[in-house]
Structures are given as structure tokens and as C-alpha cells.
Structure 1
Amino acid sequence: VIDKFTLNKKQRLAFLLKVNARMEHIAPNVERPPFRLIIGGPGGTGKSHIYDALKVFYSEVDLLPELNFTAPTGVSASNIHGSTVHHELSLRTSYKVLIKNNSAPLQALVDRLESTRTLIIDEFFFLGCADFEKISRNINL
């Protein structure tokens, strides 16, 4: 995959760190903390190139359903073939509504995230502290 996408040194490092972390999670009965990686840089630095390489890798090892791409705006989400983080993680749904017994919005959130093992939030710098608090809260419901 690295050769196919001709990833540069920094892109290759980010790609390999993520792939290695994912493959380590396959080991049975081994509890590992979540892997977190910030891939920063201005537009045109190749972040989407890394995302495309990850999609191909996950597809080749039959793990594509685990990969979930999001972004804060519709345009940025469309650019990475994902959905908005607000939709995917129910950020606009009241917490009180989410935690009600038999909550349809909670079930919808669970259904969307059920197979997700890798969540990518592109253009994360458009999100504020309150958004990150909601993201953390909602993915832990």
C-alpha cells in the first residue's frame, strides 16, 4: 500500500503507526488503550493521501467497516467520503435525550458506531472544546 500511494517519509510514518496499532489490537485477550494520532498540517500536505492509503489497507485485510471518516463540515466530510462528526456522533442531540431508556437517538448512534474501531476526524481544528467534550461523552455511552 505504501508503494502504491508513494507516501513520503512522514506520511509513511503516520500510516505505519496506525496500521501497527490496529494489528496489535487483533491479539486475543490483550487489553490495549485506544490509539490516538493527530495528523496535522495545512491543506495540501497529504493528509487525504494517508486516509486513502488507510482505506485500501483496511479493505485488503477485510476491516473496512471498522474505519469511520468524519469532519466538521459537509464539504470537508464529502472530500474524504465521510459524514459530519455532528451527525455521526450525535453532537446536536441533547444528552438527556440520548440517555433515556429505549432512546431511538441512542440506538441510532450505537448502530452507526457498532463496527467502528478507527474514528478519523478530519479538519478537527474547526471543533471547539465543547464539541470534543460531547465527542468523548457520546462515544463512551
Structure 2
Amino acid sequence: MIITSHLDGDNRCRTGDNNGQLIMCIPGCGGTGKSQLIRALSKYFLVTKRIQMMRKLAPTGIAAAEIGGMTIHSFLGEQRNSGKPRTIKPGDSKLEREWRLVEYLLIDEMGMVGLTLLAKLNRIICAAK
């Protein structure tokens, strides 16, 4: 309900905010349905023809496959422990194209994402947006 309201602009009607950032954390023990929620959100985005607005990431290949997404390392363009980070340049047109329509980022298994990896992800998304 919160995400669909955000998508449909209900926040804009109440506050006049056109670019309100929605940050949500859905915690829970294994088997409580967090990945199922991501699949349901994916279906909603697909049915409403907004799938291009969403990107799904996870820290491991298994978790990424479960939600139909990609690993954070793959998105960053680096292999685990390779020491070769993705280069970020202002005005990187490829990066900007990748993120032009994306407004929602869903990360599964967030508890497995370290601060360093999260900071790298933030830097790239900030450069893209």
C-alpha cells in the first residue's frame, strides 16, 4: 500500500513534494516472506507497466536469482575481491542510461551487505542520478 501510494503520487498531493524519497526496511527472520514481497512488488510494477522503474539487487547469486535480479557486485561491474572498481566519471552516459528511468531500488538480503559495498552502490547511483 505504501509503495503503490508513493508510485501513484499520493505523497505529492498531501505534501506538494514531487521527489519524496521512499526508504523502507522490511526486516524479518528467514521464511517470513521478504523475498515473496519483492516478487509481489515486481508483479505490480509489471502489471502497471512500470517495470523499468525498478531495479532488484542482492549480495549473492542465489538471492539475486530468487528475486529475478542481479548481484550488487555485477551491477557495480566488478568481480568479488578483484580490486578493480567500476570507474565513475561525471556525465557517464552509459551509467545515466542504466538509471534514467529507475526510481525504485529493492535490495534483498540486506543484512549481508556491508557498509563498504553499500557506500560503493550509493556513489554509483548518485553519479547516475
Count of aligned pairs between the two proteins: 121
**Letter of the structure 2 residue corresponding to residue 22 of structure 1:** L
Residues 91 and 34 (structure 1 numbering): CA distance in 2 closer, same or farther, change over 3 Å? farther
Cα distance in 1 for partners of 2:47, 2:109 equals: 26
Q: Which residue of 1 aligns with 2:32?
A: 45
Stretches of structure 2 that go unaligned for 5 or more consecutive residues are none
Contact 2:11–2:20 under 8 Å retained in 1: no
Q: Which residue of 2 aligns with 1:116?
A: 102
Matched with 2:2 is 17
1:31 alignment partner in structure 2: 18
Deviation at 1:30, TM superposition (A): 4.6
Corresponding residue to 1:94 among 69, 78, 85: 85
Match of 2:65 among 78, 101, 117: 78
CA contact (8 A) 1:89 1:139 kept: no
Q: CA RMSD in A?
A: 2.6
Q: Equivalent of 1:137, from 109, 123, 126? A: 123
Q: Say yes or no: does 1:65 pair with 2:56.
A: no
CA drift at 1:32: 2.6
TM-score (norm 2): 0.78
3-state SS of paired residue (2:55): strand
Alpha-carbon distance between aligned partners in 1 of 2:48 and 2:72, rounded to the nearest angstrom: 25
Per-residue deviation, residues 41-84 of structure 1 (Å, max 9, x unmatched)? 12210112211221221122110111111101111101111001
Percent identity, aligned pairs only, is: 24
Residue equivalent to 1:54: 41
Q: 1:107 Cα deviation (Å)?
A: 4.0
SS in 2 for 1:98: coil
